[in-house]
Structure 1
Amino acid sequence: MKLIATDMDGTLLNENNEISPENIQAILKAQQLGIEVVIATGRSYEAASKPLQKAGLSCPIICVNGSLIYLQNGEIIRSIPLERESCKKIELACTSEHSYFEIFTSAGGYSINRDHFIHVLVNMMKSHYPNVGTDEIKERIQQRFQDEKIQTIDDFDQLFNNDNIDVYKFLAFSLEDESLQRIREQLTNEHDLTITSSGHLNLEFNHRDANKGVALAFYTDRLGIELKDVMALGDNLNDYSMLEVAGYSVAMENADPVIKNLCDFTTKTNSNDGVAFAIEKALKGGFPKKVS
């Protein structure tokens, strides 16, 4: 094993949105042994950096689902924005279903007035952290808006028509699965898009070449590392492409059933230091291959 790629939410981060001491020590141990550790997340660079800095960790970051790759020094080595026409089609599909959505750009995150959609976000967060109270979840949502630098805007064309701003991701929320399915169906034939999800109440839209698997392959090729020597860890559908290409794929115990079925191994939950458990197991000789 020469490289470890790990998702953040539902994987590396626990129910307190932090990297546990056990996970920190396991990552540091791997790094000391010369193993590259890479973060691969749907978050923006700023929101991904904050828990790493708090934990005293320094890692390259594949962010916004593979749209951007940052080296440890903050240098961007890959940038794959959405096409302008695709942005307008995604906006139309989301607004047709009255779905709340956020847009992640080179100038920060944007949304319409979010006050009416707090209850949607509360329910989404409860699916990730079922043991956390509603008041605390609301506090975390407000903190998330700050971490992701979500600004409000009345006219998204201000972004789409600005040549100085790149749009990387749309994140749409709904309490109704049927609504999300109708949005997906409207955009199914848009071949420039990758449509995935980081939870059962959302959809994520990126450029077709912007997914964690393609980004991971780009990064490992840059280092001269073969994918067979990579261990990837994740919990949800936006991790699928990364887990599919990695030589060693690890699902969290709290992962979506589709992810568990895909992966070679299942580790402990994100609340029980599952990343550390997987790393330690790998360092001691690895996992037996799953019998299909």
Structure 2
Amino acid sequence: MNRSLRFFRIVESVRGDGAVILLGDKGTSRTVDSRVRISYTLSMASYKAVFTDLDGTLLHEDGKISPQTQEVLVRLRARGVPVFIATGRSVCATKAAVGGLGLDTPFICYNGTVVYDPLTSDWLRHETLDDRVAQGLIEVAHENALFYFVFHKDSKVTLPPRYPFQSDFYGRLENMRIVPRFEDLPRRSVTKVSIFTPEDDGDRVVIEYLERHGSDHYIERFPMGSIPGFRDFTFHTTDVHARAGGKGAGMRFVMARYGLDPSEVIAIGDHRNDLSMLLEAGLAVAVGDAPPEVLAAAHRVIDHDDGEGVGRLLAEIFDL
């Protein structure tokens, strides 16, 4: 038996809905969906590392970490508990968000396709889009006059702006590289292609292309206005990069380097791109407004509370 199950025993199965009731040896009980891997443990001292998402989880609405949560993270580091960031953001955007913490642990970026060491600036893991798919995406976006970026390593490569809003958008971003001609855009070793459209279904030509040319890719769609610093932009974003196992694969890569067992890890997230990470962890924590399938995978649910929910949870678990 997985050692993280040692505090629970099944006392009743509920027919038809896949639920089971687990009774803890300290008198606690929990009803769970049997399709979700159960690895919750009451032994708080067994947790040795924390993996946390940024946007919607650790960060305040203004894109910063609250002073209270920062203090908790500093105390965790002082106690020797490493904190790992796992995000869909680029490397430079991750640095901007957590630079004040002085973290010396690897960042899991681009939804797990990249693991970056902030101490050495090494890209420890870098899974790129299939070259054929990357080139096709760029051509489809260009032929349909879509606005797009090609991420080459961590640089955002694009063509000169055609509209005033693009100039404003470019001015808010780091690591921008503008090339004069379509032929100058990178087509090999592409980390990600981001496509921006005025409507949420404006990317349909891109989706249709990907469906016709099946490949192991990951698609994330979201309104640009959901990102701190870009609230005034109304267009929608479609990110396409290599699937590569998601954040869960990035987490496994880091755990192997640090000699961590999944049962020793806490993972915290709020969205579908966090699901693979939550299912790997000994303690999976979801933010309360997460989608149903993310909540179903969680052992605990917390309020976001402008990022302070994470700080309160960790202070409780580690008795800080």
Residue matched to 1:282? 317
Match of 1:20 in 2: 66
* C-alpha contact (below 8 Å) 1:13/1:270 kept by paired residues: no
Q: Who is 2:105 aligned against? A: 59
**Superposition map of 1:86-125 within 5 A:** 86-95=133-142, 98-106=145-153, 108-114=155-161, 116=163, 118=165
User: Can you give the 5+ residue segments of structure 1 that lack an aligned partner in the other structure?
Assistant: 120-137, 286-292
Q: CA offset at residue 220 of structure 1? A: 0.5
- 1:277: how far off? 2.3
Q: Give the conservation status (yes or no) of the 8 Å contact 1:110–1:152.
A: yes
Q: Which amino acid aligns with 1:64?
A: Y
Moved more, 27-36 or 107-116: 107-116
Tell me the SS of whatever aligns to 1:12: coil
Task: Give the secondary structure class of the aligned counterpart of 1:179.
Answer: coil
Q: How does 1:234-245 map to 2 (within 5 A)?
A: 234-245=269-280
Give the unaligned 5+ runs of structure 2. Answer: 1-46, 225-235
Output the TM-score relative to the length of structure 2.
Answer: 0.70
Alignment of 1:185-196 (within 5 A): 185-188=208-211, 190-196=214-220
* Number of equivalences: 261
1:4/1:38 contact within 8 Å kept: yes
- Within the candidate set 155, 167, 176, 2:190 is matched to 167
What is the letter of the counterpart of residue 191 of structure 1? S
**Counting helix residues as a fraction of each chain, which structure ranks higher?**
1
1:76 paired with 2:100, answer no
Shift of 1:85: 0.8
- Deviation string 1:126-175 (CA, Å, 9 cap, x unpaired) is xxxxxxxxxxxx7xx56641x3x22333545424356xxx3101222334
Amino acid at match of 2:191: Y
Distance in 2 between the 1:53 and 1:67 partners? 21
275-284 vs 214-223, which deviates more?
275-284
- Flag the structure with larger Rg: 2
User: In the TM superposition, what is the alpha-carbon distance from 1:269 to its structure 2 partner?
Assistant: 1.6
Deviation at 1:37, TM superposition (A): 0.8
8 A contact 1:81–1:167 mirrored in 2: yes
Paired position in structure 1 for 2:260: 225
Amino acid at match of 1:183: V
Query: Does the 8 A contact of 2:56 with 2:307 survive in 1?
Result: no
Paired AA for residue 84 in structure 1: D
Q: Name the TM-score, length of structure 1 as normaliser.
A: 0.76
CA deviation after TM superposition for structure 1 residue 4, in Å: 1.0
Percent identity, aligned pairs only? 26
The answer for the alignment partner of 1:288 in structure 2 is: none
1:35 has 2:73 as partner: no
**What are the Cα deviations for residues 245-290 of structure 1, in whole angstroms up to 9, with x where unaligned?**
22222222343444334433222226141221232233259xxxxx
Counterpart contact for 2:248–2:278, Cα < 8 Å = yes
- Say what the alpha-carbon RMSD is for the aligned residues: 3.0
Post-superposition offset of 1:217:
0.8
Structure 1 pair 155/272, CA: closer, same or farther in 2 (3 Å)? Answer: same
